[in-house]
Structure 1
Amino acid sequence: RLPAPAATSALPVTPAYISGDDGHVVLTSVLRRSTAASVFADVLGRALFQDLRQEGGYSYSAEADYSPRDAESATLTAYADALPQKQDAVVGGFVDTLARLRAGRIEQTELDSVRGKLLKVYDAPDLGAAVLPSYALSLLLGHRILTPDQHRAELNAVTTQDLHEVARQAWDTALLQVPGRAVDWAGLTLAPQFSTAAVTGTRHRSLENEDVTLVIGAQGVSLLTPRGPVTVSYDACAAMTARPDGARTLTGLDGFSVTVEPTLYKGVTPDRIAALDAAVPGEAIVRMPAREPDHIPQPRKRPPAARAAGAGGSVRGWTAALWLVGLLAAAWGVLCGVVTADESALADPEWDAVTGLWIMELPLLLATWKLFAARRRRTRS
């Protein structure tokens, strides 16, 4: 028997939210393990189904689950799906249902309906076999084991006030995943999306997205994206999975994760993977089995026509910009030449004004040169 790891959180503030895939709203929360908490999960699932499916017609599936985590805590998970055009309504309804339960507006009939369903389990003739897995889990985790009569008594003792307390606890530790929209209005804080810093080291450009770069350094690994970096330091690496094909996934104690796929980044050689392996503490490395060849990711390839069209459009854009800035630089240069000639013919020329005009010409010349160089690179690629 091994003790389960203590429940921890990488979130600096809760309740919090993150952006996820379209069509899905998910809530997770760590609760104190109790009969009241298990009853609350069923009450929440029924409330979501009634509000989002039966009354609102926004979701097809809406449910909640209570899963023991260790001797003292359990994980509450709630889920609802949504069509793209109804996602805002689902998010709003999901939050409203939670707010109602958190405010204590729980009907006695809701509790009685769930309690009646749970009590029926203890009337089954094969009850001993049915509860054996949960007894074994409780025994391994060091949780108290209740007899059927004790469990019935605890179920009968649950009140709506108990459910109110669980609802408040669930919200206090909640992480809500929503489909790409902000929910600050509901009192949730956006969970950290990026790391505060990136490491230095060898840079490996993504073969799928030229705006993304993987960095393998002496202190850790970073994934550089247009929106910000994601970094995992070796000394704060909770675990690194290792595949025989060279793939590595590092997960930090702060919850951030970086996956190193040699097939998806330029220049990730076996030497770089070996350096990474040597830097991660040995106790954090988790060896994984080999993958089937068709399960090893490969860079997505655009059709040749699409690449040609994209390249052509890119070159045309750079050409247009080059002509625009180049003509402006030429026109301003002619003006500078005329003014210089006119002032030279005067007995008391205003050289300060002439100098100012030529200074304004310099940025135009520099921009023209940079646009020319960029267009040439695009044409060659």
Structure 2
Amino acid sequence: MGSDKLRTTEVDGVPVFWVPGQGTLRASLWFRAGMVDESLPTRGWLHLLEHLALHGRDSIRAPVNGHVSLLHSSFDVEGEPDEVVAFLREVCRWLTTPDLSELEHERRVLRAESATRGGGAVGSHLLWRYGARGPGLAGYDELGLYTADADRLRALAAWSYAQGNAVLALSGPPPAGLELPLRPGSHDLPLPARPCDQPIPAGFAGRPNAVALSGTVSRSYAAAALLRALERALQRGLRHDSGVGYSAWSSYELVDADHAMLTTGMDVIPEALPTVVAETTAVVRRLRDRGPEPAELRDDLDRQIRRFTTEPAANWLPFMAARDVLLGRRATTGTEELAAETDAVTVAAVQQAARSLWNDLLVSVDPVGSGDPQLTWLNAPPASKQVASGRRFRPVGSPVTTGALVIGRTAAHLQTTGGEAAAAYDEVAAMIAYPDGGRQLIRRDGYQVTIEPTLWRQGHDAVALVDSAVPRSLHVPLPERTPDLIPHISVTLKQRLRFWLNDPVALLAIAGVCAVALALTEGMGLTELLGRTLVGGAILGAIAYTRHRRSSQ
């Protein structure tokens, strides 16, 4: 296995990892810059830079690719050594001095790509776990495509693509003439992932006809074995035993240098929804309480060892080393070391990982699915830390339409028949701004307050107050909406009459007006006027009370 040992050298101050390999040369230039380093208003800037850097470089002889994950960015090429050298040299020059003449073109390309991309379960779990920051940004659209400008993109490139923040992985020896002309700069580790302050274990409404669960654990070979055990258990329980699902899936997503989010799930038939959450969480509880079956774990570990000892190390070992070294972790030196660490995984270690996952468990299920009494269901946003006091706006159609919008100096508060939501301005991660005046205040925990000026009297005044209160750096201007997406309230005369006729106070006022009019026409005395008013008011009040009781039953 001597040829499987990881080699290392340095080129222009950049660490280079490689293993002797055969065939065309593969190269990946990695940087420790990913989605977690963006903010909600800049979400997608690194993806945009990656596209711009690779614009026009792809060819049949030397195909290129790029990738932006939560923690890394990479620029990849495969070809003959001289083609790899030329690609790396030119990409490094671009990253050092970006040419942004194609900015508008690539912005449009990525917007078109975004329109075809649906939201996935992993992104949803990251969002519900971390909110609108750090790893949770993976659950959002690339809002930065609407905010990017040349100067700030260049500043981001200067930090992200620095010499100290880079590692090169090769599937063979470094070719002659290799150079990596990057600008000097430091290496920045990712910040620890900070979950939202919310009750755990918990559940939330997920994709139709599907169930998924996730939890964060310390990175380890035992955690990877746990994920495979979860996927097998779901496959066995929901497909082979119950026959309610087709194919289980799983995902191992690094969220910071030392932790990963494990996610697994399955699409299920509608008839299974009432019991699928209980069956899914039972899988986790069994692994938490007893761990995997020893024979099954042994078979799983042996299979993993066979897989990476038969696949050429040049295809994966340098690239795994680049990922880990950029996170401040020690690189695995060869297949023998990896085999020994995998072989050492025990039932107790997997059980301990299952306990950690349970203590951090999130479950998503089709909204019509039933809950689990051991889970807290996240149906409403937690209360804002600040109470809004300021200008109060009444809804269009008031008093038939109920609710209130309060725009204060420090927070906005919305109350409708659907519930309450508030956002302190210092909790806001971004504010979506539509040309028609619609606004969405997205809190850092992912919950939001939506303000539609068409729904409130003097609604554009409310929008102006919010615009002035939220820092300009958090404004995200989006294109015009089609008219059918702009909400409106229409209250008919019939609805207004029905409201007044069911309101005892309004009926008393009507009775009083009628009594005064009658008195004026008949020359009635004051005593008789008051008596008739009270009698009429009592009758109308009784009618209104009876109608109110019937409508509320």
**Does the alignment reach a TM-score above 0.5?**
yes
Establish whether residue 220 from structure 1 lines up as the match of residue 406 from structure 2.
Answer: no
Which among 280, 285, 291 is matched to residue 99 of structure 1?
Answer: 285
Q: Tell me the secondary structure at the aligned position of residue 244 of structure 2.
A: coil
Which among 9, 12, 32 is matched to residue 195 of structure 2?
Answer: 9
Tell whether the 8 Å contact from 1:63 to 1:78 is kept in structure 2 after alignment.
yes
* Aligned-partner Cα distance in 2 for 1:134–1:206: 59
* Aligned-partner Cα distance in 2 for 1:121–1:265: 62
Aligned residues: 327
Tell whether the 8 Å contact from 1:318 to 1:371 is kept in structure 2 after alignment.
no
Matched ranges for 1:1-381 at <5 A: 1-147=187-333, 148-180=335-367, 183-185=371-373, 187-191=374-378, 193-196=380-383, 199-200=388-389, 201-203=391-393, 205=395, 215-237=406-428, 239-242=429-432, 245=435, 248-260=439-451, 268-269=459-460, 272-273=462-463, 275-281=465-471, 285-286=473-474, 288=476, 291=478, 293=480, 298-299=485-486, 362=537, 364-366=539-541
2:289 maps to amino acid: A
* Aligned-partner Cα distance in 1 for 2:295–2:456: 58
Q: Deviations over 1:343-365 (max 9, x none)?
A: xxxxxxxxxxxx9xx98974542
Structure 2 residue runs of 5 or longer lacking an equivalent are 1-186, 512-530, 548-553
Tell whether the 8 Å contact from 2:212 to 2:265 is kept in structure 1 after alignment.
yes
Question: Which stretch shifts more, 76-85 or 46-55?
Answer: 76-85
* Aligned-partner Cα distance in 2 for 1:264–1:134: 53
State TM-score, norm by structure 2: 0.50
* Aligned-partner Cα distance in 2 for 1:367–1:36: 71
CA spacing shift, 1:364–1:27, aligned 2, 3 Å: farther
**What is the CA-CA distance between 1:168 and the residue it aligns to?**
0.8
* Aligned-partner Cα distance in 1 for 2:538–2:370: 41
Tell whether the 8 Å contact from 1:67 to 1:74 is kept in structure 2 after alignment.
yes
Tell whether the 8 Å contact from 1:206 to 1:213 is kept in structure 2 after alignment.
no
State TM-score, norm by structure 1: 0.69
Q: Deviations over 1:13-40 (max 9, x none)?
A: 3212233454232222121111211221
Q: Tell me the secondary structure at the aligned position of residue 94 of structure 1.
A: helix
**What is the CA-CA distance between 1:370 and the residue it aligns to?**
9.7
Aligned position for 1:377: none
* Aligned-partner Cα distance in 2 for 1:131–1:317: 74
* Aligned-partner Cα distance in 2 for 1:256–1:129: 42
Q: Deviations over 1:304-324 (max 9, x none)?
A: xxx9xx9799699879979xx
2:371 maps to amino acid: V
Structure 1 residue runs of 5 or longer lacking an equivalent are 331-354, 373-381
* Aligned-partner Cα distance in 2 for 1:204–1:315: 16
* Aligned-partner Cα distance in 1 for 2:221–2:327: 16
CA spacing shift, 1:259–1:139, aligned 2, 3 Å: farther
CA spacing shift, 1:257–1:294, aligned 2, 3 Å: closer
* Aligned-partner Cα distance in 2 for 1:120–1:152: 9
Tell whether the 8 Å contact from 2:214 to 2:363 is kept in structure 1 after alignment.
yes
Q: Deviations over 1:206-259 (max 9, x none)?
A: 99xx6676554322233434343122211233x114457466543334443234
Q: Tell me the secondary structure at the aligned position of residue 177 of structure 1.
A: strand
Q: Deviations over 1:281-320 (max 9, x none)?
A: 56xx4465x6555689723699xxxx9xx97996998799
**Identity of matched residues, %:** 26
Q: Tell me the secondary structure at the aligned position of residue 103 of structure 1.
A: helix
2:388 maps to amino acid: V
